[in-house]
Structure 1
Amino acid sequence: MKREFIPGIVHGLNIDEYHAMPAISKSGLDSIDLSPAIYYARHLDPNRPPSREKSGQLEGHLAHCAILEPEEFEKRYVIGPTLNRNTKEWKAFVAANPERIAIQHDQYEAAIRQAASVRALPEIGDVLASGQPEVSAFWVDEETGAECRCRPDFVHDATSDSVILLDVKTFSDPSPNEFARQCGRKAYAKQAALYTDGYEKASGKTVRGFIFLAVGNEWPYAAAAMMLDEDSLEAGRRHYKRNLRTYAECVKTNTWPGFSDGITLIRLPQWALTNEE
Structure 2
Amino acid sequence: MTEQEYRQHPAVSRSDLWRLKDSPEKFKFYRENPVEPTQALIFGQLFHAVVLQPEQVQEMFAVAPDCDKRTKAGREEYAAFVESAQGKTVVTLEQMAEAQKMCDAVKRHTLASKLLGGVHEKEYLWTDEITGENCKCRADIVTKVGGMPLVVDLKTTTDASTAGFSREALRYGYGFQAAMYLEGVNKVTECEHNFVIIAIEKTQPYAVNVLLAPRQFVQHGYGTFRELIEIYHDCKQSGVWYGYNGKDNMLGELLLPSWME
Q: TM-score range by the shorter chain?
A: 0.7 to 0.9
After superposition, residues 129-148 of structure 1 pair within 5 angstroms as 130-148=117-135
- Give the gaps of 5 or more residues in structure 1: 1-12
Q: 2:174 maps to what in 1?
A: 188
Report SS of the residue matched to 1:269.
Answer: coil
Q: 1:229 maps to what in 2?
A: 214
Q: TM-score, normalised by structure 2?
A: 0.87
Deviations 1:246-271 (A, max 9, x none): 12222222222112256532122224
2:242 and 2:173 map into 1 onto residues whose CA distance is: 22
Q: 2:225 maps to what in 1?
A: 240
Report SS of the residue matched to 1:151.
Answer: strand
- Give the gaps of 5 or more residues in structure 2: none
Q: 1:5 maps to what in 2?
A: none
2:69 and 2:155 map into 1 onto residues whose CA distance is: 26
Deviations 1:69-93 (A, max 9, x none): 2232344334443346886243433
1:50 and 1:115 map into 2 onto residues whose CA distance is: 29
User: Which residue of 11, 18, 21 corresponds with 1:33?
Assistant: 21
The question of 1:173 aligning with 2:162 is answered no
The question of 1:20 aligning with 2:11 is answered no
Shift of 1:237: 0.8
Distance 1:97 1:41, change over 3 A: closer
The question of 1:217 aligning with 2:202 is answered yes
Segment drifting more, 17-26 vs 94-103: 94-103
Preserved contact between residue 118 and residue 224 of structure 1 (Cα < 8 Å): no
1:199 and 1:30 map into 2 onto residues whose CA distance is: 19
User: Which residue of 55, 60, 66 corresponds with 2:44?
Assistant: 60
Shift of 1:101: 4.3
User: Which residue of 83, 100, 115 corresponds with 1:127?
Assistant: 115
Preserved contact between residue 114 and residue 145 of structure 2 (Cα < 8 Å): no
Q: 2:192 maps to what in 1?
A: 206
Shift of 1:114: 0.6
Preserved contact between residue 94 and residue 101 of structure 1 (Cα < 8 Å): no
Sequence identity (%):
26
Report SS of the residue matched to 2:155.
Answer: strand
Give the aligned residue type for 2:185: Y
The question of 1:111 aligning with 2:99 is answered yes
